Amino acid sequence: MARPHASAIVEDAWHRRVDAVLRARGWKTRIVAHTGYGSQAFVRVLGRVLLTRRPEAGSREDAGATTAELRSAEDERRGWRAFITAPAMNVPVTITVGEQVIRTRTDRSGYVDVRVKEHGLAPGWHEARLTSVDAEDVVAAVVVIDSEQTFGLISDIDDTVISTSLPRPMIAAWNTFVKNENARHVVGGMATMYRSLLEAHPGAPMVYVSTGAWNTAPTLTRFLRRHGYPPGPLLLTDWGPTNTGWFRSGQDHKRACLHRLANEFPSIRWVLVGDDGQHDPKIYGDFAEQRPDAVAAIAIRELTPSEQVLSHGIPVSLEEFVPARERHRKHVPVCRAGDGYGLLRLLQAALEIDARL
C-alpha cells in the first residue's frame, strides 16, 4: 500500500491528539446519521461518530423528524459550529438494518459508509439503527429502490436548487460562518419540477450530489424540506486532506458518484440536473458519452449574467470557451432554461419523445 500523503499523516496526528485531550475531559461520542439508499440486494448506510462535550441525542437528517425537532436539535451546530468537530477515529459501530447486524469501525475522519447485503427489506422507506460506545442509538432513513425501477433523478445543489448570490470562492465561508440558514434562496420552480417528474414515475429515487461538506447535511436537509423538495440521500464530501493530497477534487467526487449509482442501479436511466456556472455540463456530458444507456436526459439551469460573474468572474457560461465538438452530445437530450418551470416543460417533451423510441 502506498504511503499516505503528508497532509493525511498530519491530520491524523492532530485528530489523535484532540481525541485524547477531549476524552480526558470527559467528552463522549455522538452519532450523526445520514440518509442512505439501496436496492433489494443491498443498502448503503451512512453516518459519522463525533466527540461531544456532553451526552446528547444523536442527530439525524432523515425525513422522519419534524422541521421543528430538527431545527431545535441542530441549532447549536449551525454555522461555524458545524465545522468545529472532533471525529471519533476507529470507534466500533453496530448497524442493524432489516435482517442484518453489521459490526464495523469508523474511518480516520469518523465516517461510516457500509454496504449491507441480504437485508430482506421491501422497496420503500426504512430505518437502520446505529449504535456505538457511549453514544445514544440513532436511526438513519434508508430508501430501498425497486429493482424494476427505470427512472431516477440526480441533482446538484449549489446554484441548481439553492442560490447564495455570492462569489463562488465565498460560498464555503458563507456556509461556514453565517448562522442563519434563511440567508439562502431557493431557485424558482426546481422543487415543482422534481415533484412533477417523480409523480409521473412512482417509486423513482431522488439523489442529491454536491461537493459540499458532510457537516452541512442537516442544514441542507432542513432547507430542502422547508421548500418542498423531495426527500432523498445527499452524497456530499469530507473536506480537507486525503491520502493523496491536501484537498479533494469536487469534480472527481461527482464523477465517482455518477458511475457508482449507474453500477448499483443498472436498470435506471437518470435525469441529471445541474447548472452552467461551473463544471456540471461537461461532467454530465462526459458521463452521457461513456454511459448513454444510464442517462435519460440532462437538464441545465442557466445562470443569469450576474450569477455567472459571481460564479466564475465572467458574464457568460464557461461552455462558451469549449470547442463545439465538446459541447455537442449525441444520444441524450439536453434541456436548458433559467428555472425549474422552463426545464420541466422541456424535459416533459424530451422524455415523452424518448419513451417512444
Q: What is the pLDDT of residues 115-147, one digit of tens each?
A: 999 999 999 999 999 999 889 999 999 999 999
> Is residue 206 located within the same domain as residue 226?
yes
Q: To the nearest whole number, what is the mean pLDDT of the chain?
A: 80
Q: What is the rounded radius of gyration, in angstroms, for the C-alpha atoms of the chain?
A: 20
pLDDT at 336: 94
- Rounded CA-CA distance 161/10 in Å is 36
| pLDDT > 70? residue 9 | no
> Is residue 140 located within the same domain as residue 174?
no
CA torsion through residues 301, 306, 311, 313, sign: positive
- Rounded CA-CA distance 260/42 in Å is 13
- Rounded CA-CA distance 309/299 in Å is 21
CATH number of the CATH domain containing 31: 2.60.40.10
Pairing of strands 162-163, 124-132: unpaired
Query: Domain range for residue 272?
Result: 151-355
> Are the C-beta atoms of residues 281 and 321 closer than 8 Å to each other?
no
> Is residue 297 located within the same domain as residue 237?
yes
CA-based nearest residue to 154, from 29, 264, 20, 10:
264
- 129, 145, 161 - which closes a domain: 145
Give the torsion through C-alpha atoms of 206, 210, 216, 218, to 10 deg: 0
Q: If pLDDT is split at 50, 70 and 90, which confidence band does 193 have?
A: very high
| pLDDT > 50? residue 77 | no
Q: If pLDDT is split at 50, 70 and 90, which confidence band does 246 have?
A: very low
Q: Is residue 252 part of a domain?
A: yes
CA torsion through residues 244, 249, 255, 257, sign: positive
> Is residue 88 located within the same domain as residue 122?
yes
CA-based nearest residue to 284, from 235, 317, 238, 251:
251
> Is residue 127 located within the same domain as residue 248?
no
| pLDDT > 80? residue 90 | yes
> Are the C-beta atoms of residues 185 and 165 closer than 8 Å to each other?
yes
| pLDDT > 60? residue 242 | no
Q: What does DSSP assign to residue 125?
A: E
- 93, 122, 145 - which closes a domain: 145
- Crossing angle of helices 190-199 and 340-355, in 10° steps, is 30
Name beta bridge partners: 163: 185
Cell, residue 264: 448499483
User: What SS3 state is found at 315?
Assistant: coil
> Is residue 34 located within the same domain as residue 130?
yes
> Are the C-beta atoms of residues 139 and 130 closer than 8 Å to each other?
yes
- Rounded CA-CA distance 267/203 in Å is 14
Q: 272 or 250: whose pLDDT is higher?
A: 272
> Is residue 25 located within the same domain as residue 170?
no
CA torsion through residues 240, 243, 244, 248, sign: negative
Q: Which residue shows C-alpha cell 424540506?
A: 225
The region of weakest confidence among 45-59, 197-211, 294-308 is 45-59
| pLDDT > 80? residue 271 | yes
- Rounded CA-CA distance 287/277 in Å is 18
Q: 277 or 71: whose pLDDT is higher?
A: 277
| pLDDT > 60? residue 67 | no
Considering the entire predicted model, what is its pTM? Answer: 0.82
> Is residue 196 located within the same domain as residue 130?
no
pLDDT at 58: 53
pLDDT at 159: 85
The region of weakest confidence among 16-25, 97-106, 220-229 is 16-25
Cell, residue 146: 425497486
Q: If pLDDT is split at 50, 70 and 90, which confidence band does 64 have?
A: very low
| pLDDT > 90? residue 190 | yes
> Is residue 114 located within the same domain as residue 210?
no
Highest mean pLDDT among 50-54, 232-236, 327-331: 232-236
> Is residue 76 located within the same domain as residue 168?
no
Q: Is residue 12 part of a domain?
A: yes
Q: If pLDDT is split at 50, 70 and 90, which confidence band does 331 have?
A: confident
> Are the C-beta atoms of residues 42 and 128 closer than 8 Å to each other?
no
Q: 130 or 24: whose pLDDT is higher?
A: 130
pLDDT at 248: 59
CA-based nearest residue to 94, from 137, 55, 62, 142:
137
| pLDDT > 70? residue 178 | no
CA-based nearest residue to 32, from 120, 139, 122:
139
State the average pLDDT over residues 92-110: 94
> Are the C-beta atoms of residues 271 and 205 closer than 8 Å to each other?
no
> Is residue 35 located within the same domain as residue 104?
yes
- Rounded CA-CA distance 57/256 in Å is 33
> Is residue 275 located within the same domain as residue 292?
yes
pLDDT at 28: 87
Q: 262 or 27: whose pLDDT is higher?
A: 262
Q: Is residue 1 part of a domain?
A: no
> Are the C-beta atoms of residues 164 and 174 closer than 8 Å to each other?
yes
Cell, residue 179: 448562522
The region of weakest confidence among 11-25, 88-102, 329-343 is 11-25
- 96, 112, 145 - which closes a domain: 145
